Structure formats: C-alpha cells, structure tokens
Amino acid sequence: MIGLVLVGVAAGALSGLLGVGGGVLFVPGLVVLAGLAQHQAEATSLLAIVPVALVGAYRQDRYGNVHRRDALLVGVLSAAGAVAGVALANALSGRQLRVAFAALMLAVAVQLLRKALRQPGDGTRRADGDAGASD
Amino acid sequence: MTIDRYLKLALIGTAAGLFSGLFGVGGGTVIVPLLVLWLGYREHEATGTSLAAIVVIAAVAAASQGAYGNVRVAQSMLIGVPAIGGVLLGTALQQRLPARTISLLFAAALVGTAVDLVLR
C-alpha cells in the first residue's frame, strides 16, 4: 500500500516534469505491488493517468504552456491511431517492430540532445514564430 | 495556422496513437520530442500541450478498456491520487528548470524506454 503511494508520487512527478502520462511507472507498480496481470495493469494505469494529466495540464495552462487547439487535434487523432495500432500489433510480429521503434527513439534522443546543446541555457529562444498563435 | 502545421500536428497525433497501441508506450514519449523538433515548441510548452493531449487519449483508452472489464478502479485510485500530488510537484519544479535540462532529461528517458523495448 505505501509502495503504491510512493510509486504514484514518483510517476506524477515524472509526468509533470516531462509531460508524459506516467504509465511507465504505473504499469510495473501495479504488476509488482498490486499483483495485477499485465493487461489489467495497463488498463488500470490508463484510468489513473486521466486525473493526473488533467491536473498537470491545468497547472501548465496557468503557466501559459498549453496550446489547447493543438492538444485537442493531437489527442483526438491519437485516439484514432491507437485503435489502428492495437489492430496492427495483433497482425504483426512484435520483436522486429520493437527494435525498429527503439532505434527510432534513440535517433530522436540524439536530435533532442543536439538541439539542447546548441541552444542557450535559458531556453527562451522560440524557433517557430507561429508556435504560440494557435490559441 | 498553416496547412503544413496542421499536417504535422495530425501526423504527431496519429504516430503517438499508433505507437501507444502497438507498443504500450505512452503518447507523451512521441508527442513531446516531435512538438519540439518539428514545430519549434519550447520544451515547457511541449510538455504542457502533451499533457492536455494525453487527457483525451487516456480517457478514450480507459473507457474502451473499461468496456472489456480490465480496469481496477480501487487500485487506480490508490496509485493515481498520490500521483496528483506528484504532478503538482513536478510541474512546479519544471517551471524552475531551463529548457535545456528538460530536453536532456527527456533524451535520457527516451534511451531508457528504448532499452526497455529491446529487452522486453
């Protein structure tokens, strides 16, 4: 019980820091500490993410960091894409796909690193003038 | 907003959904770096906008999983309610961090996720 609470706090902090849902910690936490099966843990994690992301987005909106229309567009299309992804996952072999996606993530990580090391530390530079014009 | 920008946003949304359906990797892992690299979002804006998109994604996904009877509501509250405290801490801390630090942390998280995918 105390373990679940601690994992929850850590997942929430990660979510707020990096803008992710926190499922990367929720799912193993629910499997190891609550004894759920993997598919139950993934489903349960999704429900836990909703209020966490909602509160995080609300706080970020107060700081002026949410482009609402962009978020809605990305969110709605993601929901549609996820349905296709689940269907594909059942049709394709997993291993090669996961390795290919992992390679893609490493390439993205390198891009992020290069950009981060190029930009000034205060990070106030805005590369795309219309990034804020969407609300 | 230009057509090009809409197309990029549509592509980011579709890719995030597709990959989360395929690999169970959350949407934020795809959304945040692509907003930064393709649309020139500043890191704080990318993470904030990603969280708002995740609300929609997770709500739809949780509802469909709920229909299959896989969601355990009590456990989700047990881990999710403390996480609300965590996200308040995380967002407050993030406002004090420079954009570069967020990018570096995110790159590290991507490497960790990639390793996890390969070892699975």
Residue A121: its pLDDT value, please?
A: 55
Domain boundaries, chain B: 3-119
pLDDT tens sequence across B76-120 = 999 999 999 999 999 999 999 999 999 999 999 999 989 988 887
* Dihedral (CA of A98, A104, A105, A106) sign: positive
pLDDT tens sequence across A22-36 = 988 998 999 999 999
Residues on chain B touching A44 (C-beta within 8 angstroms): 70-73, 75-76, 79
B62/B77 Cα distance (integer angstroms) = 13
Substitution target from B2, B14, B30, B55 for chain A, most A beta carbons within 10 A: B55
Residue A128: its pLDDT value, please?
A: 47
Q: How many of the other CB atoms lie within 10 Å of CB of A53?
A: 33
Distance of CA B24 to the CA centre of its chain: 12
Residues on chain A touching B13 (C-beta within 8 angstroms): 73-78, 81
Residue of A40, A66, A132 lying closest to B70 (CB–CB)? A40
Residue A20: its pLDDT value, please?
A: 94
Across the interface, do B58 and A50 touch by the CB < 8 Å criterion? Answer: yes
Residue A73: its pLDDT value, please?
A: 94
- For chain B, first and last CA: distance in Å? 41
Residue A120: its pLDDT value, please?
A: 65
Residue B46: its pLDDT value, please?
A: 97
Residue B22: its pLDDT value, please?
A: 79
pLDDT tens sequence across B4-55 = 999 999 999 999 988 887 777 778 999 999 999 999 999 999 999 999 999 9
A125/A52 Cα distance (integer angstroms) = 29
3-state secondary structure (DSSP) of residue A72? helix
Residue B26: its pLDDT value, please?
A: 74
* A32 close contact with B: CB closer than 8 A: no
Q: Are B117 and A98 in contact (CB under 8 A)?
A: yes
Substitution target from A1, A14, A17 for chain B, most B beta carbons within 10 A: A17
Residues in chain A, pLDDT under 70: 120-135
DSSP track, B54-109: HHHHHHHHHHHHHHTT---HHHHHHHHHHHHHHHHHHHHHHHTS-HHHHHHHHHHH
Residue A130: its pLDDT value, please?
A: 45
Domain boundaries, chain A: 2-66
Residue B1: its pLDDT value, please?
A: 62
* A90 close contact with B: CB closer than 8 A: no
Across the interface, do A17 and B33 touch by the CB < 8 Å criterion? Answer: no
Taking the CA of residue A91 and the nearest CA in chain B, the distance in Å comes to: 10
